[in-house]
Structure 1
Amino acid sequence: MFFVDTIEVPGLGNRSYLAGGGRTAVAVDPPRDIDQVIAAAARRGVRISHVVETHVHNDYVTGGLELARVTGAAYLVPAGAAVSFERLPVGDGDRTVIDADSGLTLRAVATPGHTPHHTSYVLEESGTAVSVFTGGSLLIGTVGRPDLVEPRLTERLARAQYASAHRLATELPDDTAVLPTHGFGSFCASSQAAGESSTIGKEKASNGALTRDVDTFVADLLAGLGDIPAYYAHMGPANAAGPAPVDLTPPAVADADEIAARLAAGEWVVDLRNRVAFAAGHVAGSVNFEAGGQLATYLAWLIPWGKPVTLLAESAEQLAAAQRELVRVGIDRPAAAATGEAGRWVRENEALASFPRATFADLAGRYPADGVVVLDVRRTAERAGGFIEGSVHIPVHTLHRRLDEIPEGTVWVHCAGGMRAAIAASLLDAAGRAVVAVDDGFDAAGNAGLTVRAA
Structure 2
Amino acid sequence: MRVVTATNAVKDERQAGGLVVEVIETTSLGDRSYLVSDGEVAVVIDPQRDVDRVIAVAGRLGVRIALVLDTHVHNDYVSGGLELARLTGAEYGLAAADEVPFERRPLADGDVVQLSPRMRVRALATPGHTFHHLSYALEGAEGPVGVFTGGSLLFGTTGRTDLLGQQHSEELARHQHASAQKLASMLPDGAQIWPTHGFGSFCSATQATGDSATLGEQKWINPALTLAEGDFVEQTLAGLDAYPAYYAHMGVQNTTGPEPLDLREPVRAEPEELRSRLDHGEWVVDLRSRKAYVVSHLAGTVSLGLDGPMVTWLGWMIDWGAPITLLGESREEVGAAQRELARIGIDKFAGAAAGTPEELAADRSQLRSTPTATFSDLAAALAGDSDGFPAPEVVLDVRTNKEFAASHITGAVHIPLYELKDRLGEAPAGAVWVHCGSGYRATAATSLLEAAGRTVVLVDDTFDAAAAAGVPMTEPGESSSSS
Distance 1:204 1:110 in 2: 20
Q: Measure how far apart 1:266 and its partner are.
A: 3.0
* Partner residue, 1:386: 407
Q: Measure how far apart 1:159 and its partner are.
A: 0.4
Distance 1:290 1:349 in 2: 23
Could you tell me whether the CA contact under 8 Å between 1:22 and 1:99 is conserved in 2?
no
Q: Measure how far apart 1:260 and its partner are.
A: 1.1
Distance 2:434 2:100 in 1: 43
Tell me: CA distance 1:425–1:348, structure 2 relative to 1, closer, same or farther (3 Å): closer
| SS of aligned partner of 1:402 | helix
Map of 1:7-26 to 2, 5 A cutoff? 7-26=24-43
* Partner residue, 1:445: 466
Deviations 1:55-78 (A, max 9, x none): 000000001110010011000000
Could you tell me whether the CA contact under 8 Å between 1:159 and 1:214 is conserved in 2?
yes
TM-score normalised to structure 2 length: 0.92
* Partner residue, 1:435: 456
**Does 2:267 correspond to 1:263?**
no
* Partner residue, 2:215: 200
Tell me: CA distance 1:64–1:362, structure 2 relative to 1, closer, same or farther (3 Å): same
* Partner residue, 2:6: none
| SS of aligned partner of 1:400 | helix
Distance 1:286 1:316 in 2: 18
Map of 1:98-117 to 2, 5 A cutoff? 98-100=115-117, 103-117=118-132
Map of 1:166-177 to 2, 5 A cutoff? 166-177=181-192
Could you tell me whether the CA contact under 8 Å between 2:29 and 2:311 is conserved in 1?
yes
* Partner residue, 2:67: 50
| SS of aligned partner of 1:82 | coil
Deviations 1:215-234 (A, max 9, x none): 11110000000111110000
Distance 2:356 2:281 in 1: 23
Aligned AA (1:400):
K
Aligned AA (1:304):
D
Equivalent residue for 1:274, pick from 289, 302, 305: 289
Q: Measure how far apart 1:291 and its partner are.
A: 0.5
Equivalent residue for 1:420, pick from 441, 445, 452: 441
* Partner residue, 2:90: 73
* Partner residue, 1:191: 206
Aligned AA (2:275):
A
| SS of aligned partner of 1:233 | helix
Aligned AA (2:298):
V
Deviations 1:328-361 (A, max 9, x none): 0111122211112111111144340121111011
Aligned AA (1:450):
V
Could you tell me whether the CA contact under 8 Å between 1:378 and 1:415 is conserved in 2?
yes
Deviations 1:251-277 (A, max 9, x none): 111110111122233320000001111
Equivalent residue for 1:356, pick from 371, 374, 385: 371
Tell me: CA distance 1:389–1:266, structure 2 relative to 1, closer, same or farther (3 Å): same
Distance 2:205 2:363 in 1: 50
Deviations 1:404-433 (A, max 9, x none): 001111110000110000010011011111
**Does 2:422 correspond to 1:404?**
no
* Partner residue, 1:27: 44
* Partner residue, 1:326: 341
**Does 2:337 correspond to 1:316?**
no
Tell me: CA distance 1:37–1:371, structure 2 relative to 1, closer, same or farther (3 Å): closer
| SS of aligned partner of 2:403 | helix
Could you tell me whether the CA contact under 8 Å between 2:381 and 2:392 is conserved in 1?
no
Distance 2:63 2:302 in 1: 44
Distance 2:407 2:60 in 1: 48
Q: Out of 300-309 and 349-358, give the one that drifted further.
A: 349-358
**Does 2:53 correspond to 1:36?**
yes
* Partner residue, 2:479: none
Map of 1:130-169 to 2, 5 A cutoff? 130-169=145-184
Gaps of 5+ in 2: 1-17, 385-390, 477-483
TM-score normalised to structure 1 length: 0.98
Q: CA RMSD in A?
A: 1.1
Gaps of 5+ in 1: none
Distance 1:340 1:349 in 2: 15
Distance 1:153 1:446 in 2: 40
Distance 1:42 1:448 in 2: 53
Distance 2:32 2:392 in 1: 46
Q: Measure how far apart 1:236 and its partner are.
A: 0.4
Equivalent residue for 2:322, pick from 307, 315, 328: 307
Could you tell me whether the CA contact under 8 Å between 2:278 and 2:284 is conserved in 1?
yes
Distance 1:299 1:151 in 2: 24
Aligned AA (2:456):
V
Could you tell me whether the CA contact under 8 Å between 1:20 and 1:99 is conserved in 2?
no
**Does 2:254 correspond to 1:239?**
yes
Distance 1:305 1:195 in 2: 34
Distance 1:184 1:88 in 2: 29
| SS of aligned partner of 1:122 | strand
Q: Out of 296-305 and 368-377, give the one that drifted further.
A: 368-377
| SS of aligned partner of 1:106 | strand
Q: Measure how far apart 1:368 and its partner are.
A: 5.9
Distance 1:310 1:292 in 2: 18
Could you tell me whether the CA contact under 8 Å between 2:281 and 2:300 is conserved in 1?
no
Distance 1:149 1:181 in 2: 18
Aligned AA (2:63):
V
Aligned AA (1:146):
T
